[in-house]
Amino acid sequence: MRNSDAEKIRALPLFSEMTEAHFDAIARAALLQTFPERITLIHEGDQPDFLHILVQGSVELFTTWQKRETTLDIARPLATFILAAVIRDEAYLKSARTLSESQVLLIPADAVRDVFGRDAAFARSIVSELAERYRHVVRILKDQKLRTGIERLANWILDEEHFQGGDGRISLKHDKRTLSSRLGMTPENLSRNLAVLAEHGVSVSGRDIAIVDRAELKRLARPHRLIDESAS
């Protein structure tokens, strides 16, 4: 791993407080790899071999059951994903695949568990990361259960615009099928809801979305700090 990449990983809250010796041990064992689009990184039901950290790109977390498939979340850099399975050494409960060319840091799971047992600061950071992941899942469930489809889409646009720089424009980084699955609607309903949002301060052109009336979009979305991360 290059020094510049190690510095980025070291800056993550998960690793920032651990001892230098323990971080060096993890860094020496780590592999930084670039994967093309639509490569499955993790198969649901497999035992964890690595802790995955997304450095660049985007990764879909999804699950399947009886020939049905649904998107659970979309990971953004810099982020770990499916950490709990690594710490507990238990089967993955979901799968992961790249949505675009992605750079992923792979840290052997046994190295993570070894340092977890020997470095108190790292253990505290793991607990904090797992707690944050839990809170993120609760936010997603509240969004899914309490809002209509168009409200979920409106809040997703506000959240994604915040993540992409807050300049009023976003670019879809993945196909509409993935986005509609993540938002709990069909692709047809997604297209209809995007058309309706034209009356609520949103302009859509292909994969580009612009917020032309933020106050009107917020009036429809009603973002809340207990549901939406960008509003907290």
Domain that holds residue 161: 148-231
What the block records as the tokens of 79 is 């982020």
Instruction: Write the pLDDT tens digit of every residue in 188-232.
Output: 999 999 999 999 999 999 899 999 999 999 999 999 999 998 887
Task: Based on the fold, state whether residues 112 and 25 are members of the same structural domain.
Answer: yes
- Residue 68: partners with Cβ closer than 8 Å, 6 or more residues away: none
Q: Is the domain of 126 the same as that of 212? A: no
Q: What are phi and psi of 33, to 5 degrees?
A: -125, 150
| In a shared domain, residues 49 and 162 | no
Q: Quick one: 139 and 81 in the same domain?
A: yes
Residues 13 and 121 in one domain: yes
Give the count of domains, the chain: 2
At position 24, the amino acid (one-letter code) is D
Shared domain check, 163 and 136: no
Do 138 and 219 belong together in one domain? Answer: no
Distance from CA of residue 185 to its chain's centroid? 19
Shared domain check, 114 and 66:
yes
Measure the CA–CA gap between 92 and 84, rounded to whole angstroms: 9
Q: Do 98 and 195 reside in the same domain of the chain?
A: no
Same domain for 100 and 136, yes or no, is: yes
Q: pLDDT tens per residue, the chain (232 residues)?
A: 677 777 878 888 899 999 999 999 998 899 999 999 999 999 999 999 999 999 999 999 999 999 899 999 999 998 899 999 999 999 999 999 999 999 999 999 999 999 999 999 999 999 999 999 999 999 999 999 999 999 999 999 999 999 999 999 999 888 889 999 999 999 999 999 999 999 999 999 989 999 999 999 999 999 999 999 888 7
Asked if residue 140 and residue 152 are part of one domain, the reply reads: no
CATH code (residue 111): 2.60.120.10
